[in-house]
Structure 1
């Protein structure tokens, strides 16, 4: 039996201090410090937070580990989506299994070092690029299962219908244990057939769906309403996530309200990706350049679960980033006008509890009986947990001490 004590930490906006007790990797007790007397000698590990903020780990809800850390190989000089797609297509043919493994593992370790405890990563394949990238990500999921909880999305980046053979690869990926059926309807020759294949596989294997959706500056070609209706029709309410959805920023008034209401009814979660969308969006605008980010506040206020994620780390789509979700959230605050006194408290949940909800994690959070996962931040007010961008002082995943930051960082990784 192993018992761990994390004492004097702040868990919410009240800024009251709590003691957390983890027994054999599970939360055994969570009580206010004033209500619990503890004897440190009864524990195998003791960490005194001294009034610092603790969160149940950060949740990275949308990332591509297999395409990380390639920005310098063939630079996207224009910074446009078109060149990002072209450059990446050229590079993919050069990826070996060893190369993908080295880069994806390095990116995964960046996430872990910054306190991410749960991640949903898209792993792509196509008849030209092959299947070894997906195999690498599945291997990493097993290798790092004691350090981070990974969900793997079977992702057909190059489309399904316009890339013959991809549907068979998707089925193969699901049979190998993919957690989520992915899709990218705007990058295929027949959007409705693309969606029918995705929904069919999701039904067959009993898995949720995660789409790259409407990555446009304009709303002219968007299909989010179609996706929402099909989500309801196929019985996937609450089991659909969409990334990007930048086209929605081109909508307003009653039309936007109707779309948001339909999305709320369908229980669709939106993964906003501000680093990528700001970098690639609005490139054709000559003045009043669009932010090209989905309308986070309006989605939130309309009852849609909207969260924040990285998408990429240092590749042609996003030539920066270090795996720190706090930096993503800090960027979103001015971009999405989330700095108001009533808005700021809603941001941290977008990379913690709301993000966990978006990817279907049901045992997340500070509840007795849940996995003993906790990250302590070097800040003493819950309200400042993002704007301080504090260093991570302690990270425990299911009772496994991953990181302890005192005078010298102790990092326990494979």
Structure 2
């Protein structure tokens, strides 16, 4: 019997409605609407375009059923870069000058007063908001440094278990304050990985010299090899490559390839790319693509902190998304921070972030918007290493979102209610909204 039957779902605008059958947390069939209830055999999978082997059982009366009535279903959204430990700090102390240096300084000061209880409370609020907005996986970057120690990592490891049935949390050991510049950080990162952190992080530009930045990158990637985990670095986060510490794309690509880490390294921000000359930028993107290094623009933060020194022709400061696509670089986007010194905005809604990215990136029309949506779903799954068990296809884990819109092309534009959020075949969130218009009676004359 099916554990959950999702009826009359729209999964593609050029295909008929379908039924999605879920058993034991996985999608076992995607068939034309009505087939799952009749138990007919040999039904095609309209999403994959191939015949389904083994027809679904008729829906069991006791099984859960969601009748989409033509609403869109997409794979679960993936927050591929989120700082839960530093969320919701803006009310405690905002960034005085709006710069990256100011954000790091303010947050460093606030971290000295962190308690496990406070970090847990703020992180929970954002995790639960993200779940309600359709997020089924979060890659979280808690700070690891001599200021805060492993407090953030320990809290996030606990939340990873607490929310396991509702959202998957990958914990990154992130050295925000640098490694060489902050003695003792390397030992803390090692301990974080021994305690169960899933990913080794980096902040390649936050060192005193270019040589130290290179050592930072090499240290992070060596830890990735040693512990058998992916690496996820903050890199090239400036308006341009004038300071060589913010022009490390090629170095990171080559260091990744030398260690055989292709497909296991992601770079957040990478705003300096937008400030490079076109031919130089194209060469850097080619190197990143060849090394299988993913890029994750963080548009809320990148736009807010970037261009602060420009008084005319203010730069947008976001990695060039269309060029990433054209170069074959795997790309996602994410919220990064929620209401703190780095980003005083946001509510952990990836569809809001995606619409903003489209607006500032000159991305429009059905093809572009579909690709932007993929950056928060299938492409993000590749970035965080779950592509083999993810997606709207037979055999994938049933992480799905039912949206209150009836065209896939309109998902970003409509900012739809998340009617239901499904994690591993179980409904973990529902949202309903009703609007009643009180209009004066129109004249029929």
TM-score range, shorter chain: over 0.9
Alignment of 1:198-213 (within 5 A): 198-213=220-235
Alpha carbons of structure 1 residues 309 and 188: separation in structure 2 relative to 1, 3 Å: same
Alignment of 1:92-107 (within 5 A): 92-107=111-126
Determine helix, strand or coil for the equivalent of 1:146. Answer: coil
Determine helix, strand or coil for the equivalent of 1:260. Answer: helix
Alpha carbons of structure 1 residues 164 and 407: separation in structure 2 relative to 1, 3 Å: closer
Instruction: Report if aligned partners of 2:306, 2:316 keep a CA contact under 8 Å in 1.
Output: yes
Match in the other structure for 1:397? 423
- Residue 385 (structure 2) pairs with residue 363 (structure 1): no
Instruction: Report if aligned partners of 1:4, 1:43 keep a CA contact under 8 Å in 2.
Output: no
- Residue 110 (structure 2) pairs with residue 88 (structure 1): no
CA distance in 2, matches of 1:374, 1:218: 39
Alpha carbons of structure 1 residues 83 and 325: separation in structure 2 relative to 1, 3 Å: same
Instruction: Report if aligned partners of 1:159, 1:184 keep a CA contact under 8 Å in 2.
Output: yes
CA distance in 2, matches of 1:43, 1:365: 26
CA distance in 2, matches of 1:52, 1:36: 18
- Residue 340 (structure 2) pairs with residue 315 (structure 1): yes
Alpha carbons of structure 1 residues 391 and 406: separation in structure 2 relative to 1, 3 Å: closer
Match in the other structure for 1:78? 97
- Residue 369 (structure 2) pairs with residue 344 (structure 1): yes
CA distance in 1, matches of 2:399, 2:125: 22
CA distance in 2, matches of 1:282, 1:76: 16
Match in the other structure for 1:234? 259
- Residue 278 (structure 2) pairs with residue 278 (structure 1): no
Considering only CA atoms, is the larger Rg found in Structure 1 or Structure 2? Answer: 2
CA distance in 2, matches of 1:404, 1:318: 28
Alpha carbons of structure 1 residues 406 and 84: separation in structure 2 relative to 1, 3 Å: closer
Alpha carbons of structure 1 residues 301 and 43: separation in structure 2 relative to 1, 3 Å: farther
CA distance in 1, matches of 2:5, 2:367: 34
Report the alpha carbon displacement of residue 34 of structure 1 after superposing the two structures with TM: 6.0
Alpha carbons of structure 1 residues 106 and 225: separation in structure 2 relative to 1, 3 Å: same
CA distance in 2, matches of 1:13, 1:256: 35
Match in the other structure for 2:16? 16
CA distance in 2, matches of 1:400, 1:267: 34
**Larger strand fraction of residues:** 1
Match in the other structure for 2:82? 63
User: C-alpha root-mean-square deviation of aligned residues, in Å?
Assistant: 1.5
Report the alpha carbon displacement of residue 12 of structure 1 after superposing the two structures with TM: 2.3
Which ranges in structure 1 are unaligned for 5 or more consecutive residues?
409-414
CA distance in 2, matches of 1:45, 1:98: 37
Match in the other structure for 1:176? 195
- Residue 238 (structure 2) pairs with residue 216 (structure 1): yes
Determine helix, strand or coil for the equivalent of 1:293. Answer: coil
Match in the other structure for 1:197? 219
Report the alpha carbon displacement of residue 37 of structure 1 after superposing the two structures with TM: 4.0
CA distance in 2, matches of 1:166, 1:253: 37
TM-score by length of 2: 0.89
CA distance in 2, matches of 1:197, 1:317: 26
Determine helix, strand or coil for the equivalent of 1:159. Answer: coil
Determine helix, strand or coil for the equivalent of 1:307. Answer: coil
Q: Which moved more, 1:8-17 or 1:103-112?
A: 8-17
Instruction: Report if aligned partners of 2:22, 2:425 keep a CA contact under 8 Å in 1.
Output: yes
Determine helix, strand or coil for the equivalent of 1:343. Answer: helix
Alpha carbons of structure 1 residues 285 and 136: separation in structure 2 relative to 1, 3 Å: same
Alpha carbons of structure 1 residues 117 and 97: separation in structure 2 relative to 1, 3 Å: same
Match in the other structure for 1:31? 31
- Residue 149 (structure 2) pairs with residue 121 (structure 1): no
Alpha carbons of structure 1 residues 333 and 380: separation in structure 2 relative to 1, 3 Å: same
- Residue 77 (structure 2) pairs with residue 52 (structure 1): no
Q: 1:74-110, CA deviations, whole angstroms, 9 ceiling, x for partnerless residues?
A: 1113222222111111101011111101101111111
Q: Which moved more, 1:102-111 or 1:184-193?
A: 184-193
Which ranges in structure 2 are unaligned for 5 or more consecutive residues?
39-57, 435-445
CA distance in 2, matches of 1:377, 1:354: 20
CA distance in 2, matches of 1:296, 1:376: 27
**How many pairs were matched up?**
408
Report the alpha carbon displacement of residue 15 of structure 1 after superposing the two structures with TM: 4.6
Report the alpha carbon displacement of residue 252 of structure 1 after superposing the two structures with TM: 2.8
